Amino acid sequence: MNELVNKFDHIRQEAVAALSEARDQAAVEALKVHYLGRKGVIPGLFREMGGLPPQQRPQVGQTANQCKNQVQAAVDEALARVTSGGGGGGDAAAELDVTMPGRRRRIGLKHPVSQVMDDAIDIFRRMGFVAADGPDLETEYHNFDALNTPADHPSRDVQDTFYLPDGRLLRTQTSPVQVRVMENRPPPLRIVCPGRCYRRDTPDATHAMNFHQIEGLYVDRHVSLADLKATMTLFAHELLGPRVRVRFRPHFFPFTEPSLEYDFSCIMCGGDGCRICKNSGWLEISGAGMVDPAVFHAVGYDSEQWTGYAFGMGVERIAMIRYAIGDIRLLYENDMRFLRQFN
Ligand code: DAH
């Protein structure tokens, strides 16, 4: 008789322990069938009771019923736990799987436009330029008048410039920072001004209403066009590699005389001609020139004593060349699958 009581006790402990460790519903169901099913372990023990002398049956029967009830309760509890979705109610310690891999947190990275801007500023800093800053909301005077831009110049048109009701505007270029710096500091100076610019352009693959420029200004005695060419060539080599060639073309800007535009040889095809450079072998980077005496007069610099060069380059343009991006709009869609590539 004791032997059967012991068996019931043993099975009860074994079943309760197994059920408390069951991870999912299938495991619980399997244990239920194993212990309580029609051909299961516990009904089997009940059948063994049939062989006992009648006077012993009540006592063993009590243990047997306790065993069955407790295992049934353990089944119910285990089922509730595995079907509760793992959160809240269950036994947190039992659910914790220490072998599970951790969740990786992504580290933020610099936007390609910021990367180019930071790298460019770093290169100019090594050449002795310091960074300067100006407001996005500008006066017409700083954005146009002081830069020798005639009143009827097409760039002033409301079709090209965002004007505020009070007459101020969203700067169309970073050149007004030149004016602000010269108004406040005596020559000589050497500055770069990175910043956001705004134009009423219709967005397409190469135009955005909102883009970035890096402006440069160098004022000293006896500054020449040769200095500008040397600086720009060194900049190209530092930013894009020593094989890049630089080409200067005559151009016109109101605030420089002479004015020029400069191109880098296409880094995709090495200058042979491809889709990116539209088969010309060259990529247009920036405008530049020798500061017009009229600009020096506007800020009170003596143009007989001081000379200077200035340049203004499009940051998105350079980013698109550097990373072979075919459409400027991709830079501003904030699609992480796109941005993650530029690490
Ligand atoms: N501000 C001009 C533009 O937006 C670029 C530029 C040309 C800047 C010549 C300069 C410069 O400083 O000297 O197209």
298-314 pLDDT, tens digit per residue, is 999 999 999 999 999 99
Distance from C-alpha of 72 to C-alpha of 139, rounded to nearest angstrom:
83
> For residue 38, what are the CA distances in angstroms to 96, 141, 340?
34, 95, 59
Which residues are within 8 A (CB) of 234 and not within 5 positions of it... i.e. 6 or more apart? 123, 127
Q: Span 29-46, mean pLDDT?
A: 90
pLDDT band at 85 (very low <50, low <70, confident <90, very high): low
**Whole-number pLDDT of residue 8:** 87
Q: How far apart are CA 228 and CA 122, in angstroms?
A: 18
Does residue 287 have its Cβ closer than 6 Å to ligand 1?
A: yes
DSSP string of 290-334? EEPHHHHHHHT--TTT-EEEEEEEEHHHHHHHHTT-S-GGGGGS-
Strands 130-131 vs 169-170: parallel, antiparallel or unpaired: unpaired
Q: If you take atom 5 of ligand 1, which residue's CA is the nearest one?
A: 312
Quick: pLDDT tens for 116-174. Answer: 999 999 999 999 999 999 999 999 999 999 999 999 888 888 889 999 999 999 999 99
pLDDT at 97: 84
Residue matched to tokens 């009830």? 69
Q: Which of 178, 190, 311 to mutate to test the pocket of ligand 1 (most atoms within 8 A of CB)?
A: 311
Burial of 147 (0-12, 13-18, 19+ CB in 10 A): buried
Cα distances from 21 to residues 88, 91, 96, in angstroms, run 17, 10, 12
Instruction: Please state the φ and ψ torsions of residue 328, each to the nearest 5 degrees.
Output: -60, -30
State whether the beta carbon of 301 lies less than 6 angstroms from ligand 1.
no
**Ligand 1 center to 122 CA (angstroms):** 20
| Atom 14 (ligand 1) nearest CA | 287
Q: Ligand 1 atom 8: the closest Cα is on which residue?
A: 312
Of the two residues 93 and 302, the one the predictor is more confident about is: 302
pLDDT (tens digit per residue) in 256-295: 999 999 999 988 888 888 877 888 999 888 999 999 999 9
CB atoms within 10 A of CB 222: 7
Residue nearest to atom 4 of ligand 1 (CA): 173
State CA 65 to chain mean position distance. 65
- Whether 187 is in the pocket of ligand 1, judged by its Cβ within 6 Å, is no
Half-sphere exposure of 293 toward its Cβ, with a 13 Å CA cutoff?
4
Q: 283 has which bridge partners?
A: 264
> Is the CB of 308 inside a 6 Å radius of any atom of ligand 1?
no
What is the C-alpha separation between 200 and 253, in angstroms, rounded? 20
Percent of the chain having pLDDT more than 70? Answer: 97
Give the closest residue to 111 by CA, choosing from 318, 295, 264, 339.
339
Going by alpha carbons, the residue nearest to atom 9 of ligand 1 is: 288
DSSP code at position 153:
-
Peptide bond before residue 254 is cis, with ω within 30 degrees of 0: no
Cα–ligand 1 centroid distance for 60 (angstroms) = 100
Q: pLDDT by residue (tens digit) across 173-203?
A: 999 999 999 999 999 999 999 999 999 989 8
Query: CB of 277 closer than 6 A to ligand 1?
Result: no
The per-residue pLDDT for range 53-62, each reduced to its tens digit, is 888 888 888 8
179 CB less than 6 Å from ligand 1?
Answer: no
pLDDT digits (tens, 9 = 90+) for 229-248: 999 999 999 999 998 999 99
- pLDDT bin (cut points 50, 70, 90) of residue 254 is very high
Helix 25-36 vs helix 2-21: crossing angle, to nearest 10: 170
Which atom number of ligand 1 is nearest to the Cα of residue 178? 12
Choose which residue among 147, 212, 253 to substitute to test ligand 1 binding: the one with the highest number of ligand atoms within 8 A of its C-beta: 253
Cβ of residue 310 lying under 6 Å from some atom of ligand 1: yes
Q: pTM of whole model > 0.85?
A: no
Q: Is 289 in the pocket of ligand 1 (CB under 6 A)?
A: yes
Q: Has residue 87 got a pLDDT over 70?
A: no
What's the fold here for domain 112-339? BirA Bifunctional Protein; domain 2 (3.30.930)
Pocket-testing residue among 175, 252, 261, ligand 1, by greatest number of atoms within 8 A of Cβ: 175
